[in-house]
Amino acid sequence: MGQIVLENVTKSFGDTQVIPPLNLTIEDGEFAVFVGPSGCGKSTLLRIIAGLEDTTSGKVVIDGEDMTEISPSKRGLAMVFQTYALYPHMTVRKNIAFPMRMAGMSEDEQNKKIEAAAKSLNLTDYLDRKPGQLSGGQRQRVAIGRAIVRDPSAFLFDEPLSNLDAALRVGMRLEISEMHERLQTTMIYVTHDQIEAMTMANKIVVLRAGNIEQVGSPLDLYREPQNLFVAGFIGSPKMNFITGEEASKHGCHTMGVRPEHIEVSSSTGPWVGKVGVSEHLGSDTFFHIHDTGLADVLTVRAGGEVGFRAGDTVHLTPRDDVIHKFDAQGLRT
C-alpha cells in the first residue's frame, strides 16, 4: 500500500509562502513525477511528504493515516537524494544494511536482502567498497539499494539523476522505470527535466511557484495542456506561441503549435519565413524560422533528411487538428 494524500498543505519560510494551499492525491502504485522550473516548490513538497520539512498548515495522509506530525523514519517511506547521501564511512554493504540494522532486523535476513538488492542493481562486486571508490552511477544504485531493502510503501526520488552524465542518465531512467514495473510500489519523483517526467511517469504534476498547474498522464499533458505554462513546459522543443491576427483567425488570443505539427516545404503552405539556425540530430532536424510575421522565431521539426540552408525561404503548414487555443488569461479554450 502506498496512497499519499496532501490536504490543504501550505508551507511558508518566514513571511514567504512557497506553497499556497495545495491538494493532491497519489494513488497506490502510481509513478508520479513533480516537474517544474527551479524554485517551483517541487523539492519542498517532496520533503514535506518525507517529513524532512514541516507543513505550515494542512495534512499529509499516507495510507489513510494522518502522518503530518510523524517523524520521517516512521512514515514507511524511502528517499533517494540528488547527492546520493551515502554514508561515506561505511562500505556499500553497510550502507545498504543500515536501515535494516536500525530496524533491528536479523543479520541473516539483512544479508539475504543485501544480496538480492545487489544482484538486481549490479552491485555484487562492489559490496565491500566505500562510496568514495564508486562512480556516480554506482553510488546512485547504492542509494536505490538502500531504499529498496526497506520495503517502503513509497519511494521518493529528489532529482536522483541530475548529477549523472547524459548517457548514464538515460540508462538509470530506464532502470528506475523497470524497478517500478517490477515492484509496483508508489514512486514520487522530482525533476526539472520534462523528458524524464514524460518518459517515466504515470502521472505528472506540473508545478509553478508552489501551485499545481496541471495533473495528468504524460500524453494528457502533451495533448491537452490546460494553460500556456504547461503547454510551454511539456514537449521538446518548446511549443510555438502565436498571437495577433493569425490567432484571432483561429478564434483565440494565443494559439500554440508544436514544432512537430508544422510541415515545412519549399513551395506550399500558408506561412512563409526564412531559415535561421538548423539543428541536425540525425533522426530529426529542428529549423528555427524567422521573419514569419507571426512570432519572433518558429521552431519546426522535420525529418533528418530534410535539408534547408540558412537564409532559404520556406513555407509552413500547421496541422489544424492539433492546434492549441488559449484565451487572454492563458487558459485553454
Partner 1 sequence: MAIVAHSSKSGRVTRATFAWIVGLLFFFPIFWMILTSFKTDADAVKPEFLFFFTPTLDNYANMTENYDYWRFAKNSVITAVFATVFTLFVGIPCAYAMAFNPSRHTKDVLMWMLSTKMLPAAGVLYPMTFLTKNVLGIFDTHFLVILVLSLINLPIVVWMLFTYFKEIPKEIIEAGKMDGVDTWGEIKEILIPLAWGGIASTALLCFIFCWNEAYWTVRLTTTEAATLSKLIEGNRAPEGLFFGRLSAVSAAAVGPIIVLGWFCQKQLVQGLTFGAVK
Under the rule (CB under 8 A), what is the footprint of partner 1?
50-52, 71-74, 77-79, 81-83, 85-89, 98-99, 102-103, 143, 146, 150
Nearest to 164 by CA among 176, 172, 175, 154: 172
Nearest distance from C-beta of residue 12 to partner 1, angstroms: 14
What contacts 218, CB < 8 A, 6 or more positions away? 197, 198, 199, 201, 204, 234
Residue closer to partner 1 (CB basis): 123 or 234? 123
Residue closer to partner 1 (CB basis): 78 or 161? 78
What contacts 229, CB < 8 A, 6 or more positions away? 206, 208, 213, 330
Residue closer to partner 1 (CB basis): 2 or 318? 2
Nearest distance from C-beta of residue 29 to partner 1, angstroms: 21
Contact 99, 149 (CB under 8 A): yes
Nearest distance from C-beta of residue 58 to partner 1, angstroms: 21
Nearest to 264 by CA among 229, 234, 302: 302
In 51-135, alpha helices (H): 92-102, 107-120
Residue closer to partner 1 (CB basis): 87 or 310? 87
Nearest distance from C-beta of residue 297 to partner 1, angstroms: 40
Residue closer to partner 1 (CB basis): 85 or 168? 85
Nearest distance from C-beta of residue 176 to partner 1, angstroms: 18
Amino acid at 190: V
| Distance separating the N- and C-terminal Cα atoms of the chain | 38
